[in-house]
Amino acid sequence: MGNVLTAKNISVRYGASQVLFDAEIEIGRGEFVSLLGRNGMGKTTFVKALMGMKSIESGSVFFCGQQVAGKPDYVIARLGMGIVPEGRGIFPNLSVNENLVATAMQRKGSMSTIWTVDSVYELFPGLRKRIQNLGSDLSGGEQQMLAIGRALMTNPQLLILDEATEGLAPLIRHEIWSCLARLKNEGLSLLVIDKNIKPMLGLANRHYILEKGRVVWKGNSSELSDSPEIMSKYLSL
């Protein structure tokens, strides 16, 4: 099936400070891939570079067979790259329903499901009960569900989640992981950043670890589980 995303030799600067050094990642169609690392290692910057939200100094990004490095973020989004950003970024002054409709794009994505408002409410029944509430009225967990639903309404080829379950209650975290398992089973390609390693090991096909802007390790879940020294060196707080 090939890759939905191939990024190589990505270097990014903030002014005089270089943040990413020849970073790379590949995501096959239908794969669940994680991007791991401690805070401040460049994960969010990497995601922003892939999405066109941060300009890159050098490197290539091929998405769905097209070179997208240097293209504006809205062009990349229209090609089918969706994101649930860190901090969720929902529209606080729009209702739940308006948040979902605002990003709707009825195209054939990579999944068996074509996402509509009704299918998002089927995925997250709690949102249906809050349909007319403003985004600012929702709990953190509800906002995260809404952010995921809003991204799904674009019917993406690849869904990126930056800090998928950060700061959420255990029951909400479980619901989010169950949602991601369903999306994977339906064939959606996923790139997920999260600090909860255990559920990631059970879901992800492969993992990349960033350390000070460099990919220092990559492998599958079995290889990571069998490498406690890697987790201790690069992932322990």
pLDDT digits (tens, 9 = 90+) for 60-104: 999 999 999 999 999 999 999 999 999 889 999 999 999 999 988
Q: Does the structure show a pLDDT above 70 at 16? A: yes
Which pLDDT value is given to residue 114? 86
**What pLDDT, on a 0 to 100 scale, did the predictor assign at position 92?**
94
Non-local CB neighbours of 162 within 8 Å, separated by 6+ positions: 43, 44, 47, 83, 84, 85, 86, 193
Residues ≥6 apart with Cβ < 8 Å to 233:
none
List, for residues 227-236, the tens digit of each pLDDT value: 999 999 999 8
Q: What mean pLDDT, rounded, does the chain reach? A: 93
Q: State the pTM of this model.
A: 0.94
- 101-105, 129-133, 161-165, 205-209: which range is least confident on average? 101-105
Task: State pLDDT tens for residues 26-56.
Answer: 999 999 999 999 999 999 999 999 999 999 9
**Residues 6 or more apart whose Cβ sits within 8 Å of residue 130:** 96, 137, 138, 142
* Nearest alpha carbon to residue 152 among 191, 106, 203, 206: 106
pLDDT at position 237: 59
pLDDT, tens digit, 9 for 90 and up, residues 185-223: 999 999 999 999 999 999 999 999 999 999 999 999 999
pLDDT tens for each residue of 135-153: 999 999 999 999 999 999 9
Give the pLDDT score at 31: 96
Which tokens go with 220? 């599958």
Cβ burial of 107 (10 Å; 0-12, 13-18, 19+) is exposed
Give the position of tokens 């009704």: 118
User: Which pLDDT value is given to residue 110?
Assistant: 56
User: Which class is domain 3-234?
Assistant: alpha beta
Spatial CA neighbour of 97 closest among 117, 126, 125, 122: 117
